[in-house]
Amino acid sequence: MLARVRDWLDERFGWDELIAPLRKKTVPVHRYSHWYFLGGITLFLFLIQVGTGILLLLYYRPSANEAFESVQYIMTRVEFGWLVRSIHSWAGNLMILTAFAHMFSVLFLRAYRKPRELTWVSGMLLLFLALGFGFSGYLLPWNTLAFFAIKVGTEVAGQVPLIGKWLVVFLRGGEEVTGATLTRFFGFHVALLPGITTLLIALHLALVQRFGISVPRSLEAQWLRPSARRHQAGMVFPFHVPNAEGAPRKGLVHRW
């Protein structure tokens, strides 16, 4: 059945050719470590956020009069509403955590070096967008904590020289944090940020796909010296727990 669908697609627009680059990937086995999972975990959590976010949109109402009540409604009346909202909240926090861990692992291993500069830059932009998600989402429950957190948070933006004042008015949709701010942040949170983020993730993944996974410098150097001593050069990160064989292998072509 699946094969027939694939054949059909292949006959029309060369499906196999299209996905050929996706079917072959070099996975470094030199130091098979958890640090390489962080990007994927972040992506997974992002997808969780998209799913639970869409579910929350079914019941959430972004107006000053109804926002708080609708969140209470989700938590108390809607079946499994508490679960969906809690997953959204926790996965959001975890996503920030894994995104930062991912960023630091790339930073310390200098995985950003040529030719992967654009991957790094797009990743940093994604990190800022993730923070934007966190900030805009924080207001949406419209409780006291949310209100004052956003009041203080937007005041920080006011300290930017020259455009600070304008920036605060832009963020708040007025001089003060009001229902206008809520509507605005809701728009950022569910339309503007997801749109930009999705595009950037596509770019980020395409770049990772194109360049493959970075190999740490010290290993690269080892591989270039055939007579090199086969033990670990101690580096900052726990990437360098020796693997079973001790000796680095050059990578494994993984097919599926």
Partner 1 sequence: MCPKDSAAQVPREVAQSPVRRRFAEFLLGGGLLASAISFLYPILRYLVPPAQPDLGTDSVVAGRVGDLRRNSGKVFRFGNRPGILVLTENGDYKAMSGVCTHLNCTVQYRPDLRQVWCACHNGFYDLNGRNVAGPPPRPLELYEVHVRGEEIVVDRRRGA
Q: Min. distance of Cβ 76 from partner 1 in angstroms?
A: 9
253 is a contact residue toward partner 1 (CB under 8 A): no
Question: What's the angle, vertex CA 43, arms to CA 214 and CA 126, rounded to 5?
Answer: 80
Q: Please, which residue, 144 or 227, has the CB nearer to partner 1?
A: 144
Q: Please, which residue, 74 or 190, has the CB nearer to partner 1?
A: 74
Per residue, the 3-state secondary structure of 130-167, as one string, reads: HHHHHHHHHHCCCCHHHHHHHHHHHHHHCCCCCCHHHH
Q: Measure the CA–CA gap between 40 and 46, rounded to whole angstroms.
A: 10
Contacts 24+ apart (CB under 8 A), 58-64: 60/140, 62/140, 62/182, 62/183, 62/186, 63/179, 63/182, 63/183, 64/142, 64/178, 64/179, 64/182
Q: Min. distance of Cβ 208 from partner 1 in angstroms?
A: 21
Q: Please, which residue, 72 or 209, has the CB nearer to partner 1?
A: 72
Q: Please, which residue, 8 or 166, has the CB nearer to partner 1?
A: 8
Among positions 208-227, residues that touch partner 1 (CB under 8 A) are none
66 is a contact residue toward partner 1 (CB under 8 A): yes
Please report how many Cα atoms fall inside a 13 Å half-sphere around the Cα of residue 90, on the Cβ side.
6
240 is a contact residue toward partner 1 (CB under 8 A): no
Residues facing residue 255 across a β-bridge: 24
Region from 7-15, 63-71, 131-139, 227-235 binding partner 1, contact rule CB under 8 A: 63-71
101 is a contact residue toward partner 1 (CB under 8 A): no
77 is a contact residue toward partner 1 (CB under 8 A): yes
Q: Which residues bind partner 1 (CB under 8 A)?
A: 2-3, 55, 58, 61, 65-66, 69-70, 73, 77-81, 83-84, 256
